Amino acid sequence: MGFGEDAAMNGRGSKEVEDFMSGLIKRNPGETEFHQAVQEVVESVMPVVLDNEEYRKAQILERMTEPDRIIIFRVTWETDDGCIRANRAWRIQFNGAIGPYKGGLRFHPSVNQSVLKFLGFEQTFKNSLTGLPMGGAKGGANFNPKGKSDREVMRFCQSLMTELHRHVGEHTDVPAGDIGVGPREISYLFGQYKRLENRHTGVLTGKGLSFGGSHLRKEATGYGCVIFCQSMFEERGDSIEGKRISVSGAGNVAIYAVEKAIALGAKVITMSDSTGFIHDPDGIDEDKLTFIKLLKERKRVSLEGYPDKYSGASYHAGKRPWAVATDIAMPCATQNEISGEDARELLGNGVQAVCEGANMPTELDAAHAFVEAGILYGPAKAANAGGVAVSGLEQTQNAERRVWKAERVESELSTIMKSIHDKCVEHGRDGDRINYVTGANIGGFLKVAEAMRSYGAV
Ligand code: NDP
């Protein structure tokens, strides 16, 4: 069964989805993450395409699943002890129909073309949902910053930008951070761009406040995810206050999701990293979160030491937090971190909502299970759009050569997240339920499709 309201009700469009996917898989062999991301969208939007002859004639769906271009290049750099290393890097400019390309850079050994194509494709819909004029892109390298010295990371970033600078620009393509690319990496990348181009311009977002960054950019994805979650509860006359939240991840998105959740009175009982998860039944409060920030942002070590400081908490090596009974699951680490089995366990334990801070953290069968169960399920392209939204506001500030006050940025973020929520409700209403997956996919699709149709054959 699919996500689309119509497809779910009477199978309408399911044959077309199958045919479309079989062509896409043939054209993009072995790119399983990309297939998964496309399937989820096509299941939702096929009924819309079938109802619109112009979209069918213009092959909108076929064109929207083909990147505008893929740039792939070698990054050669030198270790501290003088050895030469080479990595592979990409920038995938997926769809520029509604604005200059915008999307993060990821440095992680698991990065490959399939992962970046799924992320670039998702980004196109997410950026459209924000209402800001931003096309979709993603990039990165199979480089692992872990265990590298600051100087090594600097040399890698400088080498990468030496090639990338000719493909990006404030009116062309504006990268930002993602997994493995935080303030340190953005600073090195921006410094090298400025040196090569001799222009101080908004070519990257997530910059430091002293050189063109925006207040609240680092908090934006996590804060936005919690605001979206709160909006889903408010839609049915409830709130996240007093609810237990299981968060995965302990990086940029997770840390600020936890910060906002605490501020709104929820009880965060888990966090995780690539080595395991912590369970704190008493709830992670502001002091405990400060300690986690110290471990992850400063010392860059695992969460293993947390229970030594906070008795009552436990650490579970090599495990994910989904077997712990909770009211809200908020995956904020990486793709495909909730399997079908995890979903059944969460549902069995009475989970009321799943709200995605990470990109595509839920496998397709798990996502289907959440939709079928009728719980509140906020998909990534809507729930985690706060980061790119504030990136868009950073671009505006750079163009104006002004820095807005933190309160103004926070209020704009809140307005944008609520408007994304309302778009999902508008396009996802299904009787007395709201299918946020359908709502986000159709809401994101329409604006891009309209722009592509208007351009004619380009
Ligand atoms: P970070 O690198 O800051 O943090 C990632 C966290 O997830 C770390 O705690 C890391 O563990 C953990 N993690 C990474 N890979 C794995 C894995 N394979 N298995 C288990 N845990 C893992 O990244 P972000 O917080 O920026 O990004 C997290 C997610 O949110 C990604 O899906 C990203 O695409 C998405 N996202 C990020 C945005 C942003 O503004 N940063 C915007 C929108 C989406 P460890 O600490 O051990 O490395």
- In a domain? residue 391: no
Annotated catalytic residue within 102, 117, 126, 138: 138
Please give the span between the terminal C-alpha atoms of the chain, in angstroms, as a whole number: 34
Mean predicted lDDT score pLDDT of the chain: 96
Predicted confidence (pLDDT) per residue in 229-279, tens digit: 999 999 999 999 999 999 999 999 999 999 999 999 999 999 999 999 999
What's the CA-to-centroid distance between 183 and ligand 1, angstroms?
A: 14
Predicted confidence (pLDDT) per residue in 332-368, tens digit: 999 999 999 999 999 999 999 999 999 999 999 999 9
Q: For residues 99 and 36, state if they share a domain.
A: no
Q: For residues 236 and 373, state if they share a domain.
A: yes
- Looking at the CA of residue 106, tell me the nearest atom of ligand 1: 34
- Looking at the CA of residue 180, tell me the nearest atom of ligand 1: 2
Q: Looking at residue 225, which CATH number applies to its domain?
A: 3.40.50.720
Q: For residues 190 and 56, state if they share a domain.
A: no
Q: Containing domain of residue 60, as a range?
A: 3-64
Q: How many domains does the chain have?
A: 3
Q: For residues 257 and 317, state if they share a domain.
A: yes
**Which residues neighbour 82 within 8 Å (Cβ) at sequence distance 6 or greater?**
none
Q: For residues 32 and 17, state if they share a domain.
A: yes
pLDDT of residue 1: 40
- In a domain? residue 24: yes
> What are the φ and ψ backbone dihedral angles of 94, each rounded to 5 degrees?
-80, -50
Q: Looking at residue 179, which CATH number applies to its domain?
A: 3.40.50.10860
What's the CA-to-centroid distance between 159 and ligand 1, angstroms?
A: 24
Q: For residues 264 and 327, state if they share a domain.
A: yes
What's the CA-to-centroid distance between 178 and ligand 1, angstroms?
A: 7
What's the CA-to-centroid distance between 90 and ligand 1, angstroms?
A: 19
- Looking at the CA of residue 126, tell me the nearest atom of ligand 1: 43
Q: For residues 41 and 168, state if they share a domain.
A: no
Pocket test for ligand 1, best of 36, 204, 253, 304 (most atoms within 8 A of CB): 253
What's the CA-to-centroid distance between 343 and ligand 1, angstroms?
A: 20
Q: For residues 274 and 339, state if they share a domain.
A: yes
- In a domain? residue 440: no
What's the CA-to-centroid distance between 295 and ligand 1, angstroms?
A: 15
Q: For residues 243 and 171, state if they share a domain.
A: no
User: Consecutive sets of 10 residues in the chain, 458 residues long: mean pLDDT of each?
Assistant: 43 89 98 98 97 96 98 98 98 98 98 98 98 98 97 98 98 97 97 98 97 97 98 98 98 97 98 97 98 91 96 97 98 97 98 98 97 97 98 98 98 98 97 96 98 96
Cβ contact 391:368 at 8 Å: no
Pocket test for ligand 1, best of 217, 252, 332 (most atoms within 8 A of CB): 252
Predicted confidence (pLDDT) per residue in 131-158, tens digit: 999 999 999 999 999 999 999 999 999 9
**Which residues neighbour 403 within 8 Å (Cβ) at sequence distance 6 or greater?**
209, 214, 215, 397
Pocket test for ligand 1, best of 123, 179, 181, 393 (most atoms within 8 A of CB): 179
Last residue of a domain, one of 378, 395, 422: 378
| H or E segment and range at residue 430 | strand 429-430
Question: In the beta sheet, which residues pair with residue 75?
Answer: 87
Last residue of a domain, one of 18, 47, 64: 64
- Looking at the CA of residue 110, tell me the nearest atom of ligand 1: 18
- In a domain? residue 403: no
- Looking at the CA of residue 359, tell me the nearest atom of ligand 1: 32
Residue of the nearest CA to atom 15 in ligand 1?
334
**Chain mean position to CA 40:** 15
What's the CA-to-centroid distance between 293 and ligand 1, angstroms?
A: 14
Q: For residues 158 and 193, state if they share a domain.
A: yes
- In a domain? residue 441: no
Residue of the nearest CA to atom 19 in ligand 1?
274
Q: What's the Cα-to-Cα distance from 81 to each of 123, 152, 154, rounded to whole Å?
A: 38, 10, 15
pLDDT of residue 299: 81
- Looking at the CA of residue 380, tell me the nearest atom of ligand 1: 44
Q: For residues 278 and 308, state if they share a domain.
A: yes
Cβ contact 350:174 at 8 Å: no
pLDDT of residue 2: 45
**Could you give the CA distance from residue 422 to residue 427 in angstroms, rounded to a whole number?**
9
| H or E segment and range at residue 305 | none
* 117 in active site: no
Residue of the nearest CA to atom 30 in ligand 1?
358
Q: For residues 233 and 290, state if they share a domain.
A: yes
- In a domain? residue 436: no
Residue of the nearest CA to atom 31 in ligand 1?
358
- In a domain? residue 285: yes
What's the CA-to-centroid distance between 250 and ligand 1, angstroms?
A: 8
**Which residues neighbour 221 within 8 Å (Cβ) at sequence distance 6 or greater?**
252, 253, 256, 257, 357, 384, 386, 387
Residue of the nearest CA to atom 17 in ligand 1?
274
- In a domain? residue 267: yes
Last residue of a domain, one of 358, 378, 398: 378
Q: Ligand 1 pocket by C-beta < 6 Å: which residues?
A: 177-180, 182, 221, 249-254, 273-275, 296, 332-334, 357-359, 384, 387
